[in-house]
């Protein structure tokens, strides 16, 4: 661990960012350039004291999970993320773990979306980041682990996952989930995480196994969908998708036309904030 290099890199990257770059209000006049230490700490879900000690060359060696959080908070590129890991004395992320590093370009867009649900997904349906409105609509997806991090896996193994969709839309959603996974499988290969997900689902779900044999391939997201919120009921929304250049991540933005019923419900959602989902629908 090169404490001096780590401290200098963190400080310089922090000072290079402005509040607007990470979705924060500028607030009162700032005496120093860039973000405050407490702002970076909050974005990385760590204590201000811990982050301060890292910048002062006296903190303990950060774990890979902590470094991944810092890389996301500081909006690091892939090369910058790898450098951060190395000066902290950790191996650079493998291809598997690097795939969950959120593309900075998508994060910059997400940071500016506060009044409508938006989230960033991997090509395996893993929620990498969600804003407060998406959390209010879908629930907090950060608690899932293992294969259950993929909404594709949950769709075919956890009946509660389907409660967000009207019954008449579930068959179409099943086909879309499999078609998306087939596209990821084609680009990642049978020995990848996509392959492991396919093998697990073939054993766990007869429905998945039957749909998989159809060989439907598509990065498919409905332009218009109805989602069911446990308190507000059915909400009709338009869905727009922005992919990274390599198609490995997608930003989903859900909106509703002005003065529509869906728009009114989104406004209510913003006021209600995160509501408790039924116990069976919470992350495990």
Q: Which stretches of 17-63 are DSSP H helices?
A: 37-43, 48-55
Output the pTM of the full model: 0.67
Q: What pLDDT is stored for residue 282 in this prediction?
A: 39
Q: Which residues contact 213 (CB under 8 A, 6 or more apart)?
A: none
Sorted by where each begins, the domain ranges of the chain are 3-98, 104-281
Q: What pLDDT is stored for residue 198 in this prediction?
A: 94
Question: Which of 68, 49, 73 shows the shortest CA–CA distance to 60?
Answer: 49
C-alpha to C-alpha distances, 142 to 27, 80, 132, 148, 149, nearest whole angstrom: 29, 24, 12, 11, 8
* 13 beta partners: none
Q: What is the mean pLDDT of each run of 10 residues along the chain (284 residues)?
A: 88 86 71 83 89 90 88 83 87 61 84 90 91 90 87 95 92 92 84 91 95 82 84 92 84 92 90 55 38
* 129 beta partners: 120
Determine the Cα–Cα distance for residues 6 and 59; give it in Å rounded to an integer: 10
- The DSSP secondary-structure symbol of 52 reads H
Determine the Cα–Cα distance for residues 182 and 198; give it in Å rounded to an integer: 9
C-alpha to C-alpha distances, 78 to 68, 133, 253, nearest whole angstrom: 11, 28, 24
User: In the CATH hierarchy, which fold is given to the domain comprising 104-281?
Assistant: Beta-Lactamase (3.30.450)
Q: What pLDDT is stored for residue 186 in this prediction?
A: 82
Q: What pLDDT is stored for residue 203 in this prediction?
A: 95
Q: What pLDDT is stored for residue 260 in this prediction?
A: 93
User: In the CATH hierarchy, which fold is given to the domain comprising 3-98?
Assistant: 434 Repressor (Amino-terminal Domain) (1.10.260)
The helix (run of H) or strand (run of E) holding residue 195 is helix 193-204
Determine the Cα–Cα distance for residues 84 and 88; give it in Å rounded to an integer: 6
């Amino acid at each position: 661990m090169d404490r001096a290099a780590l401290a200098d890199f963190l400080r310089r990257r922090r000072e290079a960012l402005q509040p607007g770059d990470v979705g924060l209000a500028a607030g009162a006049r700032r005496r120093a350039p860039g973000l405050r230490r407490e702002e970076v700490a909050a974005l990385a879900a760590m204590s201000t004291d811990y982050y301060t000690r890292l910048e002062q060359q006296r903190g303990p060696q950060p774990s890979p999970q902590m470094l991944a959080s810092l890389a996301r908070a500081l909006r690091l590129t892939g090369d910058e993320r790898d450098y951060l890991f190395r000066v902290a004395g950790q191996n650079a992320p493998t291809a598997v773990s690097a795939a969950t590093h959120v593309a900075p370009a998508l994060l910059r867009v997400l940071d500016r979306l506060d009044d409508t649900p938006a989230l960033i997904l991997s090509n395996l349906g893993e929620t990498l980041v969600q804003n407060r409105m998406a959390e209010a609509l879908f629930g907090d997806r950060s608690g899932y682990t293992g294969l259950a991090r993929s909404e594709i896996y949950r769709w075919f193994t956890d009946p509660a996952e389907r409660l967000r969709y009207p019954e008449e839309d579930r068959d179409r959603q099943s086909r879309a989930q499999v078609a998306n996974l087939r596209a990821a499988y084609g680009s990642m290969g049978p020995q990848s995480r996509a392959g492991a997900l396919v093998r697990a689902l073939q054993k766990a779900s007869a429905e998945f196994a039957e749909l998989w044999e159809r060989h439907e391939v598509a990065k498919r997201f409905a332009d218009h969908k109805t989602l069911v919120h446990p308190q507000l009921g059915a909400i009709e929304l338009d869905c727009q998708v922005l992919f990274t250049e390599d198609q490995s991540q997608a930003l989903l933005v859900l909106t509703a036309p002005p003065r529509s019923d869906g728009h009114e419900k989104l406004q209510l959602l913003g006021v209600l904030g995160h509501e408790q989902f039924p116990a069976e629908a919470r992350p495990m």
